[in-house]
Amino acid sequence: MENEKSSLVDPCRLRIDYSTCVSCAACAAVCHTLALNMDALTLELEEQLCDNCSLCVYVCPTGSLYLLDDSLNAAS
Amino acid sequence: MIRPNAHSAVTENVDVAIVGCGIAGGLLAGRLARDGFRTVAFEKRPLIGVPVRCGEAAGSREEVSHFVPVDENWVVAELDAARMYAPNLTYVERQMPGFCLMLNRDGFDQALAAQAQTWGAEVRTYHEVKSLLWDDDRVCGVQVKNQADGRAYDVKARVVIGADGVETFVARWAKLSTHFKPRHIHSAVEYVLEDVDFPTSRLEIYVGKEHAPGGYAWVFPKGVNKANVGLGVHPTMAKDGTARDYLDRFVKKFYPRAKVGKLVAGGVSGSKPLKTMVGNGVLLVGEAGHQNNPLSGGGIMNALEGAEEAHKVLRDALEKDDLSKGFLQRYDKAWHRRNGHLIEKFAVLRQLFFKLDDEDINNVIAALNTLVGASPGRITDYAEVFKTAFKAVPGVLWKTRKVLW
């Protein structure tokens, strides 16, 4: 799949801070690759689908998502 | 997207498979089961309605009871007035006796699910729908995972309902919508505050860049000394931190001594209605179908009304055995007539609202106050309110030219 291909070039750098995440799924609503999804109660990340677009980082109401080495991948 | 799964131990056949048992899913499950259709609602959470992701302000007692008998166990307050604060903290207030019920959303969702079960629907909690089943270009069921034992199974359905909320996967699997663009979603967060003097029957709204850029902050009382205090911000306009940072500052400023309870958060759709909410064998309802109000973010009544319109069309479609997109599009039209046309207007107003700076909003509130003062209780239609507001902002046509033309 296209998304998987791009992740080979740019491995997933998205991280979830579970100490502040309240599983609201705002991030899942903006995730265009369906990499973020709510399990029954917690947020799950399918790393091979993530393309580090950082839209989820933008909308997270609690600031629980971040990209490692963010400076290299400024949000569009 | 997968074909019917050969690995599943069991394949069931139902008339209607509903993905998500919240407000819209719960009501629709009940109504269709009452008509005699075999209806199963799948809810991925172990307990219906938990965790709550909602401000919990609904319509009046009369409006809510049209859909489910009102039970005082999930009604926590009945509000009589609304007050809107400008950035300079002047306000306009409107008396509207009994206009809003404050709910315990978990109890409310559970009541709808219980009503559905009473009418013969089956509700399966802790069962997560993992994908749709397809027969050519037609959705013909769902693949489900029972989270309790890890077992996957297929359910063939004549129609699949996406009632899975703002992050809807059904809509995206069925190619009816895509992800939200950041400009079409609000980032919202809320605390349940206790031990402070709140007005018990009046909700309050605060607008302005300091408190909630591109959105508003709310104080929704939940009985004595308790309130939902939250705010929604536009993610691209919030320059000073996350929604939670804004809320922390808001609470510190207005309720420094409050006991901060549970944290609630969520994304709220601020988009226009979808072009279509239906496909062959699939239909969306509630926030999955972008049915909430893009200006206020409210969606409880819209979800109930959306489910009601969906029910009417689905009943006919199932009886005539025509679940094609062509037939189900009657639901698109019915929704547009009932609420969609308003939602389109609110989406434009949302864009206009973004163009106003704090000084403009101060002027608008002052003008509205003059209007209320001149004829108390007379403001009845949105048109007059917005006409007054529009006139109050100098250069408004220039500011909003890109939205209007």
The pLDDT, as a whole number, for residue A72 is 53
Task: Please report, as a single letter, which amino acid is at residue B275.
Answer: K
Same domain, yes or no, for B197 and B251?
yes
The pLDDT, as a whole number, for residue B314 is 98
Residue B148 lies in a domain: yes
The DSSP result for B56-71, as a single string, is -B---HHHHHTTS---
Q: Residue B391's domain spans which residues? A: 356-404
The pLDDT, as a whole number, for residue B304 is 98
CA separation for the pair B197, A19 (Å, rounded): 31
The pLDDT, as a whole number, for residue A38 is 86
Same domain, yes or no, for B163 and B187?
no
Residue B339 lies in a domain: yes
The pLDDT, as a whole number, for residue B202 is 95
B89 and B7 Cβ atoms separated by less than 8 Å? no
Same domain, yes or no, for B132 and B235?
no
Residue B73 lies in a domain: no
Same domain, yes or no, for B223 and B305?
no
Q: Which two tokens stand for residue B331?
A: 């639901």
The pLDDT, as a whole number, for residue B367 is 87
Picking from B168, B169, B265, the nearest residue to A61 by CB comes out as B265
Class of domain A2-67: alpha beta
The pLDDT, as a whole number, for residue B302 is 97
CA neighbor of B288 nearest in space, from B186, B174, B165: B165
The pLDDT, as a whole number, for residue B182 is 87
The pLDDT, as a whole number, for residue A39 is 82
B299 and B292 Cβ atoms separated by less than 8 Å? yes
Same domain, yes or no, for B226 and B207?
yes
Interface pTM (ipTM) of the complex? 0.87
What contacts B179, CB < 8 A, 6 or more positions away?
Answer: A29, A30, A31, A32, A55, B172
Q: Which of residues 249-278 of B touch A (CB under 8 A)?
A: 263-267, 269
The pLDDT, as a whole number, for residue B11 is 81
Residue B31 lies in a domain: yes
Picking from B126, B179, B189, the nearest residue to A29 by CB comes out as B179
The pLDDT, as a whole number, for residue A69 is 77
> What is the CATH number for B165?
3.50.50.60
SS3 state of residue A56: helix
Backbone angles phi, psi at B219, to 5 degrees: -125, 105
Q: Given CB atoms, is B185 within the 8 Å cutoff of chain A?
A: yes
The pLDDT, as a whole number, for residue B220 is 96
Using the 3D structure, point to which of B232, B253, B269 is the last residue of a domain.
B269
- The alpha-carbon gap from A20 to the nearest alpha carbon of chain B, in Å, equals 10
- The alpha-carbon gap from A65 to the nearest alpha carbon of chain B, in Å, equals 11
The pLDDT, as a whole number, for residue B383 is 73
What contacts B379, CB < 8 A, 6 or more positions away?
Answer: B94, B368, B371, B372, B385
The domain locations on chain A are 2-67
Percent of chain A with pLDDT over 70: 79
Same domain, yes or no, for B337 and B281?
yes
Q: Does position A2 have pLDDT exceeding 70, yes or no?
A: no
Q: Which of residues 27-66 of A touch B (CB under 8 A)?
A: 27-32, 34, 37-41, 55, 58-63
In the block, residue with structure tokens 């997560």: B128
Residue B372 lies in a domain: yes
The pLDDT, as a whole number, for residue B3 is 45
> What is the CATH number for B188?
3.30.9.10
Question: A8: pLDDT confidence band, cut at 50, 70 and 90?
Answer: low
Using the 3D structure, point to which of B205, B240, B269 is the last residue of a domain.
B269
Average pLDDT for consecutive 10-residue bins of chain B (405 residues)?
49 96 98 98 96 93 97 95 94 91 97 98 97 97 95 97 96 93 93 91 95 96 93 94 96 96 92 95 97 94 98 98 98 97 92 89 88 62 74 72 62
Same domain, yes or no, for B258 and B186?
yes
CA neighbor of B175 nearest in space, from B48, B103, B281: B281
Distance separating the N- and C-terminal Cα atoms of chain A: 23
The DSSP result for B181-243, as a single string, is PGGGEEEEEEEEEESS---SSEEEEEESTTT-TTSEEEEEE-STTEEEEEEEE-TTT--SS-H
Same domain, yes or no, for B247 and B130?
no
Give pLDDT tens digits for A12-61.
Answer: 999 999 999 999 999 999 999 999 998 878 999 999 999 999 999 999 99
Residue B207 lies in a domain: yes
**Sign of the dihedral defined by the CA atoms of residues B148, B151, B157, B162, in that order:** positive
